[in-house]
Structure 1
């Protein structure tokens, strides 16, 4: 078994759990690769024995990896896809953050989780992504032009609304007068889109959601569309620029730039242990249907 381990930074309370993870992997003859900066951060904080191979970027990995461990919260999971991309390496998240909706393995469950992985007691879910192209080409977006959760356009350097004109498969839909617009995948439906009034969509649904951010159109509502739809956006506002976010990454685009959004040609594989499920996570993490009568 060949595994990658990534975290954005080392957290002080993680020492015992990190040792536990590495011990379990060693017991199962796993070949471990650390993200180089994360390993350096660990070594600055704690006494860390053992020699491990490292990777620095996407080009350092290949599809011979069996698993990719993301240690952190949901933000770390979203960063992990920048390394994995279209290699098809299953990602499993160990939650040492707060909510941990994507990173479902709690740090005190590491030993049990590794054993479940070794014994094959897990399933792999394929999650769809958004892919973005801009006209003219924007180098800030570059080749890392995909998002697992959502793409959003929002105002910059102004408190005024922006106008987001929207087309679906070349047919004009509407112009949103708002602080911005979110285009969300089913995975991202429990994130930013949900906070702006969007619906929760199960991960296996072949759909995207358009959710306006604080719209001034009183009749503007979230819209669920098929995920084979090509979406075109143009943005205009009092400021010359606006923001485009792809999960946790941000680029600045000029007014009238055309954004084309469609389903990415690859998926991200996410590990789900047999004892976990999307519906269980809804109830546990978002208190879905919480009622004292239940």
Structure 2
């Protein structure tokens, strides 16, 4: 078995679990390849990993059986870009905070490795959003798991986003910006702007305005089989376009289209991993100090 591993810095309390993970993989003679960024961090942190093989994050990894993401949801979003159309199954180990996507607790790493070897897991396929433009904004990584956003720059006033749905004019949003969210991203930026929570397998996108000038403009759910297109007006002559954690300043002459990507992200789920349980625990649903 070959496992790629990508991660970020971790709190000292997580060190024993991470060391234990590498010890267990070594005991099972797993071929491990580290992202070059994580390799540098581990060497500096004094974690023993016995792996000389690395991969460049901008080139990705093509031949691994699994990729482990050690961090929060942001780290897992990075891992999605590392595997891309290869659709390598991603194991999200939560060394971050909320962890809607990265759901394996550090204390469960050994149990997770057992589950992988014994085939006691399922694959949760998640829709990706694909962004195309006449300026090639995102290079060879024009896809994201959570959302695509158009926002004003820090120095600009409100922008106007003209939105089209399958070639038909939808609306002109006077706002700080607009979020196009997948079901996976419904618990992220879109949720904080008043968007609904969607179950992961829902075949929809959410269009969520950010601080709209017209208060009767609300989030809208559309089928993910449609194509969205956008034109932006801004006094500054530019705006920010972001795809998950990657953002760029873009000229208003840029035309952008958004649709469902042709491949998906494949997340490894263990038997006790349930989205509704995650919602209740992460959002404190039903929690009352009186109970």
Sort the TM-score into its range (normalised by shorter chain): over 0.9
Superposed CA RMSD in Å reads 1.7
Deviation of the 1:79 alpha carbon: 0.8
State the Cα deviation string for residues 39-75 of structure 1 (Å, max 9, x = none).
122111215362432111364622x421100001111
Q: In the comparison of the two structures, how many residue pairs are matched?
A: 291
Q: In 2 relative to 1, CA 196–97 (structure 1 residues): closer, same or farther, beyond 3 Å?
A: same
Q: In 2 relative to 1, CA 68–51 (structure 1 residues): closer, same or farther, beyond 3 Å?
A: closer
Task: State the distance in 2 between where 1:58 and 1:29 align.
Answer: 27
Task: State the distance in 1 between where 2:143 and 2:248 align.
Answer: 13
Alignment pair present for 1:65 and 2:58: no
Q: In 2 relative to 1, CA 176–197 (structure 1 residues): closer, same or farther, beyond 3 Å?
A: same
Deviation of the 1:248 alpha carbon: 0.4
Task: State the distance in 1 between where 2:270 and 2:6 align.
Answer: 19
Alignment pair present for 1:179 and 2:176: yes
TM-score with structure 1 setting the length: 0.94
Deviation of the 1:293 alpha carbon: 8.6
Alignment-derived partner of residue 87 in structure 1: 86
Task: State the distance in 1 between where 2:163 and 2:49 align.
Answer: 55
Alignment pair present for 1:44 and 2:39: no
Q: In 2 relative to 1, CA 292–238 (structure 1 residues): closer, same or farther, beyond 3 Å?
A: same
> SS where residue 175 of structure 1 aligns?
strand
Once the two structures are superposed, the pairs formed by residues 1-294 of structure 1 within 5 Å of their partners are 1-46=1-46, 48=48, 50-57=50-57, 59=59, 61-62=61-62, 64-135=63-134, 137-138=135-136, 140-291=137-288
> SS where residue 57 of structure 1 aligns?
coil
Structure 1: segments with no counterpart, 5+ residues = none
Task: State the distance in 2 between where 1:190 and 1:54 align.
Answer: 33
> SS where residue 85 of structure 2 aligns?
coil
Does the 8 A contact of 1:10 with 1:42 survive in 2?
A: no
Task: State the distance in 2 between where 1:254 and 1:51 align.
Answer: 44
Deviation of the 1:159 alpha carbon: 4.9
Q: In 2 relative to 1, CA 208–49 (structure 1 residues): closer, same or farther, beyond 3 Å?
A: closer
Task: State the distance in 2 between where 1:206 and 1:52 align.
Answer: 42
> SS where residue 196 of structure 2 aligns?
coil
Q: In 2 relative to 1, CA 70–172 (structure 1 residues): closer, same or farther, beyond 3 Å?
A: same
Task: State the distance in 2 between where 1:242 and 1:39 align.
Answer: 35
> SS where residue 85 of structure 1 aligns?
helix
State the Cα deviation string for residues 200-245 of structure 1 (Å, max 9, x = none).
0011111000000010112101110000110001110211110001
> SS where residue 125 of structure 2 aligns?
strand
